[in-house]
Structure 1
């Protein structure tokens, strides 16, 4: 770590020329910014050069009083470490996408008698599975786990058995109808199923069905057969969906003044789902910083189409692809298409982004101030006045595309 009383005191010779992560702190040792670099010395030195810097970067540099760094082996490790530290510390000058959507998980609580529910957050107190991009599939899967493995859904154990026990969806640990050991086996089977071990679950249930049939407990055998059929139906539907699935995100960037405007459009299973507009302050490598921030809170698709490169060379591009691939769990491609359908998608996103610039700049400021996912094209304002209890007067003013609707 090096300490400075002002930016003019900075000397880069103490910083190694290795790949790694750099950390800027203020006079109170609060973290201001975390970044990654293939060459720490060159990257940090660029902040203190006399070259033009956006106002946000100028303000950042003026507050830096200490610089720390962590050396790693390569750029991919630097990207992964940077992402982890940014999520952990949420520095003020790193891009923070407040409106980025997160997908839900199926969660099991870490209790003697765990319960199952959906959660958009992960926590040490929870064992999570997912996230699931398709909400209907997640709900079907969760209902199936409850029906097959009898996992409780109540927030607190009630004093007497609830409806779930009486309709056969819970083994009622609340009234000690099941021991902790027996309930643990139920949870273990549910955990294996949620991890994707469908065939193992089906085989276990099939063995149980054969055993109870030999004991002539035919009602229980019928219930087990129905559970097996439900699992097969769900998994077959998922296989069909996966064969049709080809996820893409289209990201287009456009600079205006000291701001960068971004249009994000999502294609899922070949269907265009919609768009989101973002605006961030300019800073070094702002397009790359935006992508890392966006995909810290959103699922990474198989392919990301861009209207311009956000890397300096092929090695940096490959490092970004490896970074996103680790988050996704499979290969990810970053492309700047030159022709065909993919170029048409990028052009479509650029056209949507262009329409945002045709708006009244005050409308764009309003969108940013209220953290709205899209531009407010229709604004209605109401004013209601009362004179006693009987005389109520109201009025409405309406604006469409930033102009009065007279």
Structure 2
């Protein structure tokens, strides 16, 4: 379309809200846009010497314009979204298709199953999600199995089939993970009550199942049925634990959507949070590649529309870091203080970490010198869901045999390799007896108190050799130093090589063949070797000190000083009286020489 033809076309365009479409010479739709004022918006593309190079390229390919008038700007957004998905114009930003993310599906059937599904067919069940973080979805499913006795079979449990005795209970029934509805051992009413609680949890209505568990616990206790009361109490505590991890800031904050954006010349990065009754019910961060010089508010409007549609949000308030003029039938808030500001900062933090991670990954991937160590660190970062590459890792291990000479060791790996000059030994000072948890608390406190005082570099990852107990003790030490949450920390348990995260009862099982697990094992084994070596050395020193105490006039302090000066038994035996006398006096030196002479005879 020539400049003259463009002027003629622009004169015909109305000033109403609507959607416009640009066609190429081949009659292909190359761009779809929306506008509050069609005439003003379309005209802005045909400015002489437009400052944006990509826009000039688009204009050079336009041969025809079509437009559709709508009632409101929100209607324009809806139509634009549909046309972009249908035609996928090459100059439009295309959002990632979320249909590959998994959902939790509650089936429409007698005695409904609760499973994961990637196929969204609302005729077959009720769907919750999608879950951009699959781990959080599986944590939910594991919790449901703890709280409820759901069937896992795919039998057709119609009343007729159950009455006809077509089915037999399976191992799940004998393991008390299912109440046997297939043989009529559990009523549909009882089963549906449990499924209703699952719906409530997935909707963020945790108070309803909590009250139900509490009422049953009290009722059982009043009937002196203490085992049942304990079972209800455990269910209540499981749900309360989940609630404590899921609470955002203030449950009174209600239902809101939180969306934050940051962008550069080539892309925009957006984080979306769906908050229901004060809980994060959905979270997703995505990158939007810019095709033209799209402003942030336009990108955010398109992303927000897609997210609210995908996650079925009808929140009446949207918290954002920029103003969005499109009518979302919700109030747009840009908070400055308070709980809502904290939510926005959380979304912004997600955006910045996502952006930083992408830049870091591109830098490493684009480097021709990328080696195995970089690859392993990238894999470890992904497996442990770390925010940055763990280039500096420190690992702690305790060592004591039958409670004697308790010691601990810390090894340091930098860039995936041992940094032996940074290894440290610790003699346990404040703990009496074999208490691994207290010992771990002491050494972690001492190590990072020292680093803070010296303003030295802190590690990117702390690994604790042990399970939940040792990890919890190390976390308590970090909390006291106000470092908890600032340094990622995990525990590795020896039995199944499972990885434990703070405040998470469910361990992570990394593939046994994974290079990242092998690196953690190598670091753990090195810490164990270093601790054992120090422990043996300390035991031999203690034995020698005890032996010297048998000599008249030689006490523990004198014996320890001798060992420190001579570095070993052999050197003391071979030293002459004058040399030993420099440290203990002539009389004691003579007694020491006589003692060793008697032993050698």
Interval containing the TM-score (normalised by the shorter chain): 0.5 to 0.7
User: Is 1:25–1:33's contact at 8 Å kept on the other side of the alignment?
Assistant: yes
In the superposition, the TM-score normalised over structure 1's length comes to 0.56
Higher strand share: 1
The answer on 1:72 being equivalent to 2:98 is no
Bigger shift: residues 223-232 or 169-178: 169-178
Where does the alignment leave 5 or more consecutive residues of structure 2 unmatched? 157-166, 274-284, 337-344, 372-601
How has the CA–CA distance of structure 1 residues 377 and 199 changed in structure 2, closer, same or farther, with 3 Å as cutoff? same
1:262 aligns with 2:267: yes
Give the conservation status (yes or no) of the 8 Å contact 1:105–1:128: yes
CA distance in 2: counterparts of 1:332 and 1:128, whole angstroms: 31
Residue 67 of structure 1: CA displacement? 1.8
- Change in 2 beyond 3 A, CA 1:101/1:185: closer
Pairwise CA distance, 1:157: 3.8
1:166 aligned to 2:174? yes
Give the Cα–Cα distance (whole angstroms) in 1 for the partners of residues 264 and 191 of structure 2.
Answer: 53
2:141 aligned with 1:142: yes
Give the superposition deviation at 1:381.
10
Identify which of structures 1 and 2 has the higher relative contact order when contacts are C-alpha pairs closer than 8 Å and 6+ apart: 1
Structure 1: 5+ residue runs without aligned partners? 255-260, 269-274, 306-316, 335-341, 357-366, 383-406
Q: Aligned residues, how many?
A: 319
1:90-169 aligned within 5 A = 90-98=88-96, 105-118=103-116, 123-124=121-122, 125-130=124-129, 137-153=136-152, 156-157=154-155, 161-169=169-177
Question: 1:285 matched to which residue of 2?
Answer: 294
- In structure 2, do the counterparts of structure 1 residues 177 and 11 end up closer, same or farther at CA, with 3 Å as the change threshold? farther
Flag the 1:22–1:127 CA change in 2: closer, same or farther, 3 A. Answer: farther
Residue 240 of structure 2 corresponds to residue 242 of structure 1: no
Deviations 1:110-142 (A, max 9, x none): 444433234577553553335667765544333
Structure 2 length-normalised TM: 0.41
Q: Deviations over 1:357-379 (max 9, x none)?
A: xxxxxxxxxx9xxxx86662344
Q: CA deviation at 1:61?
A: 7.2
Cα offset for 1:37? Answer: 0.9
Higher gyration radius (CA): 2
State the shift of 1:174 in Å: 5.1
Shift of 1:54: 4.4
Q: 1:135 to 1:178 in 2, by over 3 A?
A: same
Residue in structure 1 matching 2:20, options 9, 19, 22: 22
Contact 1:48 1:61 in 2 (8 A): no
- The 1:191/1:34 distance shift into structure 2, 3 A limit, reads same
Contact 2:260 2:272 in 1 (8 A): yes
Q: Deviations over 1:154-190 (max 9, x none)?
A: 5x44976554443333345555544555433332221
Partner residue in 2 for 1:313 = none
Cα distance, 1:46 vs structure 2: 4.0
> 1:291-306 alignment to 2 at 5 Å?
291-292=300-301, 296=306, 303-304=320-321
* Pair 276,69 (structure 1): closer, same or farther in 2 beyond 3 Å: closer
Aligned to 2:139, the other structure's residue is in SS state: helix
- Residue 262 (structure 2) aligns with: 251
**Could you report, residue by residue, the CA deviation over 1:198-232 in whole angstroms, capped at 9, with x for unpaired residues?**
22212223334455556665544432222122112
- 2:22–2:65 contact (8 Å) kept in structure 1: yes
Q: Which has the higher helix share?
A: 2
Does the CA contact (< 8 Å) of 1:27 and 1:66 recur in 2?
no
Q: Is the 8 A contact 1:37 1:43 kept in 2?
A: yes
* Equivalent residues of 1:251, 1:263 under 8 A apart: yes
